[in-house]
Chain A
Amino acid sequence: MTEWTNEPGLCPLRSSGPRPAGLGAQAEVEETLKRIQSHKGVIGTMVVNAEGIPIRTTLDNSTTVQYAGLLHQLTVKARSTVRDIDPQNDLTFLRIRSKKHEIMVAPDKEYLLIVIQNPCE
């Protein structure tokens, strides 16, 4: 197949309106985060960095730090487990389902994205 190239300029179909295209990754990230926070059943959303310091959180500080600390340890252990079984594998997502709600963790070297949701509506 031939390669597609963008025809520059002169396009009347360039998007306009409530979602401008030019803001870049940061705006998209913020928007997605806001959407997640406002979803049904979501109790809290947290982004903590590698040292456990919250970058963005919707819960109070002590709870955030508690979650961050505990989940960090669990994530490390989970990752260790996955990689022990197969070193080429790596942990991408962690979900803990409990009686009351579900904790979802997206771990990374630099941060932890934690969302707590109560799925039973």
Chain B
Amino acid sequence: MIRSVGPQPKKSISFTNTVKGGQTKGYIGANQSRMAMSKTLMVLPEIKTEKMNISTPRTAIQVINALGVDVTPRPLYHQDPHMGTAKPNKLLTSQEGSYSSDYISSYSLYQNTINPSMLGQFTRSVLGSSSVSKSSASTTESIAEDLEEPSYKREKLTSFTDLRVVRATPEKIVTKEDLQKTIEITLTETETLSFFNLPTVLISVESEEAEKVIRRNKIYETLCRNRLGNDLYVERMMQTINGAPKNKEVQCDKIVKEDKGVMSSTWDLYDSYNAMDLSPLPTKQSMLESTSKASIPSKDREQRVIGSTIEKNSEASSLMDIENVILTKIRDDEEDHSESIMKSDKFRQDLFFMERVLMENLFQPKLAAYHQLPVLKEPEPEGPEDFLEGEKLEQETEEEVKKEEEEEIEIGTEESTIPANLERLWSFSCDLTKGLNVSSLAWNKTNPDLLAVGYGHFGFKEQKRGLACCWSIKNPMWPERIYQSPYGVTAVDFSTGAPNLLAVGYHNGTIAIYNVQSNSNVPVLDSSESPLKHLGPVWQLQWIEQDRGTTGDDKREILVSISADGRISKWVIRKGLDCHDLMRLRRTTVSSSKKGGEKEKKGEALISRQAPGMCFAFHPKDTNIYLAGTEEGHIHKCSCSYNEQYLDTYRGHKGPVYKIAWNPFCHDVFLSCSADWGVIMWQQENTNPFLSFYPTTYVVYDVAWSPKSSCIFAVANESRVEIWDLHVSTLDPLIVNVANPGIKFTTVLFAKQTDCLLVGDSDGQVAVYELRNMPTALDSGQGDIIDTLLGPKSNQQG
């Protein structure tokens, strides 16, 4: 039974109004509920008055269900009756403001929120009870339950405020011992509180109540059907009470929107796919999953990549504003990173390219002249050839093809009043090479831009440290490789079969083989340990490809060296350097027979039977035959098959023969130069000189044939470089280039593809000259011209 208490006079009028608005006919349940409502409403004014104790006037509401069981819901929190009351009011006032109107309005709001629900219950109960009698009890229950909710709420509100009070007062000081005390905490399970119970409206067909429910449903169905024309049922309109809505505004946090745009470019997609390929999908079973997973991370990566570039850009621009701050802060962190950049290989390579590019800019006209390309004129760029390929030894055929396409052979179409001359383009020199004497020059067989230069003094007394450098045309200011040694370098040559091998011969007789592909300065092979090494300076080295027809091997490359100890040796690279003597040069006397037998003149005491060899030259066609020049002035024709005897001896020189060169076009003719100031041209069959040239009174150090024409050769003597053209004149050189005083020209070398000549001097410089305005077309190298020379002219000089 619900105890009813009469409504008391209230200060808040609004409550009863609304309540009365919802009047219905006298249903018992409704009355009760109304009374209950009014009861609960009474609680509020008591709170407002501030003086009364909250706990006392609360009337206990009891709910008893149909069976008479007291099912009064018990509150979750039991308020302590001894607690003070002042605070909660303050709390409420502080929350809602000090105005009573606000107060009322807030409470009315409160009530309004409750009312519709209750009224809703009312309406439901109206309908419900009209139809089914059984439901009334349940509705009262439900209404009562609902009514309890607001009281709960209010109780909760007060309980919260009380909670606040409770917490504020006791403040114990927790001592250290308290902290270390073991506190026993007992956990017990509370009773199960059911907050919500929604009974199901579905019943299984197999349960016990199924029949009842089915019957009920059937009755209902018949009822619905009967309702239409039935007298028992009357349609009636009714107006529902709509509660007055109130607008409440709520402000939430600002929703921040960001626009992000991503542009995916072709390479972006390519990168993402490649990245996916690199991390392979695990198994075939999870193929599908992993593909889907992989697509997501790829997207992330895309976005990250793009995002990072965007960030970089923004960072770069913002950096300019706050550069100082960032610099000071980050400098410490970044130092490690920057050091690693400096050490990275890529950086080294980039520097290398950069240097080459700078060189190209500086030397562009010269290099263009060298390669016979049009010179770049500012400000109209004509697209100069790119020297950016930094690979030395794999000199790509592309470059050669380019050269061939772009090469303009400039035959002097000018009115040839300008005589032929040598124009100096540039010179290879750097600080390291200053003061050293250039002793030998050699082109790389595969890479036409790579030049090996050996620096070393010729004379015994002048010996200083030696140097072998590899220069590249692309960088005339610093050599690519530097191999230093305490002994002077007297001979260098690049190998044909393995173009990365450079053989270097030293003044002490050692031969070293370097691999120029690697950056190390240590030779790959060395003959200093070999028992058969040379005992005198190695004056010439050459790599020869020899047929090994007898043993059935393929062409094998051997290194042939000639040295002042009178031996011509061949070196074979098997596991080390193996040496075999090709020939021992024996001294011959002038007046004796041509055979190289020993003959001692009376009274002549020979210090050694060996004649120091100065140079050799293998026949261009037949690599079994070679010529060797000795210090005596003789040139011996020898064969690899005989190592005891000479085939022939050419006598004509009176001083050591420094260089022998076969004519590249006409294989019967060779030149030799010697310290007796002369250059002699020989024919192979004739042991007497064919033509001799004595232009100056200086020692001739080097002579070389031009690769383009059979009539042109270059001579380097101490004071000048001469270019002879036999077609024009056999008495005078065509071009004479005089050296600066104090400098001797020691070596000459022609460049193969172009009209350039390299001249090494005693100051460590290798100058590159271009032959200009040569009267004959330089690339018409026929042997016929020299044959015509040989025919009519048979100038013999002793």
Contacts and interface: CB of A to CB of B under 8 A. Distances in A.
Interface of A: 1-2, 4-7, 10-19, 21, 25-26, 28-30, 32-33, 35-36, 39-42, 47, 49-53, 55-56, 61-62, 65-66, 68-69, 72-73, 76, 80, 83-85, 87-88, 92-93, 95, 97, 99, 102, 104, 106, 108, 110-111, 113, 115, 117, 119-121
Nearest to B519: A28
> Contact size class for B?
35 or more
Q: Which 3 A-B pairs have the closest CB atoms?
A: A83-B267, A87-B270, A106-B350
A9 B265 CA distance: 56
Contacts of A115: 354, 357-358
Nearest to A3: B524
Interface of B: 265-267, 269-271, 309, 312-313, 315-317, 319-320, 323, 326-327, 330-331, 334, 337-338, 341-348, 350-355, 357-358, 361-362, 364, 378-379, 381, 388, 431-432, 465, 477-478, 482-487, 497-498, 501, 506, 510, 512-513, 515, 520-526, 528-529, 573-576
10 contacts: A25-B343, A32-B355, A51-B319, A53-B334, A65-B323, A68-B316, A69-B316, A106-B351, A113-B347, A119-B364
Given A25-B345, A32-B348, A111-B347, A93 B576 contact: no
Contacts of A25: 343, 345, 348
A31 to B, nearest CB: 9
A35 B351 CA distance: 10
Given A15-B485, A39-B477, A83-B267, 11 more contacts: A1-B497, A6-B524, A7-B576, A13-B486, A21-B522, A47-B347, A53-B338, A65-B320, A92-B353, A108-B346, A108-B347
Nearest to A66: B320
Contact of A61 (B323, B357, B478, B524): B323
B432 A49 contact: no
B350 A53 contact: no
B506 A52 contact: no
A29 B344 CA distance: 9
A83 B280 CA distance: 24
A104 B361 CA distance: 11
A83 B266 CA distance: 7
Contact of B378 (A30, A111, A120): A120
B326 A55 contact: no
A90 to B, nearest CB: 9
A31 B280 CA distance: 43
A68 to B, nearest CB: 7
Contacts of B487: 13
A50 B346 contact: no
Contacts of A68: 316
B520 A21 contact: yes
A35 B338 contact: no
A56 to B, nearest CB: 8
Contact of A72 (B316, B431, B523, B525): B316
A49 B574 contact: no
Contacts of A15: 482-485, 521-522
A26 B342 contact: yes
Contacts of A113: 347, 350-351, 354
Nearest to B361: A119
A41 B362 CA distance: 8
A106 B353 contact: yes
Counting chain B CB atoms within 10 Å of each CB, the highest count among A53, A84, A120 belongs to A53
A39 B358 contact: yes
A93 B521 contact: no
A9 to B, nearest CB: 10
Contact of B341 (A41, A55, A62): A55
A8 B312 CA distance: 49
B476 to A, nearest CB: 11
B356 to A, nearest CB: 10
Nearest to A62: B323
A119 B362 contact: yes
Given A99-B379, A108-B350, A29 B388 contact: no
Contact of B270 (A21, A88, A92, A102): A88
B316 A6 contact: no
Contacts of A66: 320
A65 B319 contact: yes
Contact of A87 (B271, B345, B529): B271
Contacts of B381: 97
Nearest to A82: B267
A76 to B, nearest CB: 6
A92 B354 CA distance: 11
B309 A76 contact: yes
A18 B432 contact: yes
B523 A13 contact: yes
A120 B344 CA distance: 32
Contacts of A51: 312, 315-316, 319, 330, 334
B358 A36 contact: yes
A69 B320 CA distance: 8
A41 B477 CA distance: 14
Contacts of B312: 50-51, 72, 76
Greatest chain A CB density within 10 A among B271, B347, B361, B525 is at B361
Contacts of A26: 342-343
Given A39-B358, A53-B334, A13 B432 contact: no
Nearest to A20: B521
B321 to A, nearest CB: 10
Nearest to A26: B343
Contacts of A41: 358, 361-362
A101 to B, nearest CB: 10
Contacts of B501: 4
Nearest to B376: A119
B768 to A, nearest CB: 18
Q: Which of B312, B341, B523 has the most CB of A within 10 A?
A: B341
A7 B526 contact: yes
A32 B522 contact: no
A49 B338 contact: yes
Contacts of A76: 309, 312-313
A16 to B, nearest CB: 6
Nearest to A110: B341
Contacts of B309: 76
Given A51-B315, A106-B350, A113-B354, A11 B266 contact: no
A61 B322 CA distance: 12
Contacts of B330: 51, 53
A91 B310 CA distance: 19
Nearest to B466: A13
A30 B362 CA distance: 22
Nearest to B323: A65
A38 B483 CA distance: 24
Contacts of A2: 573-575
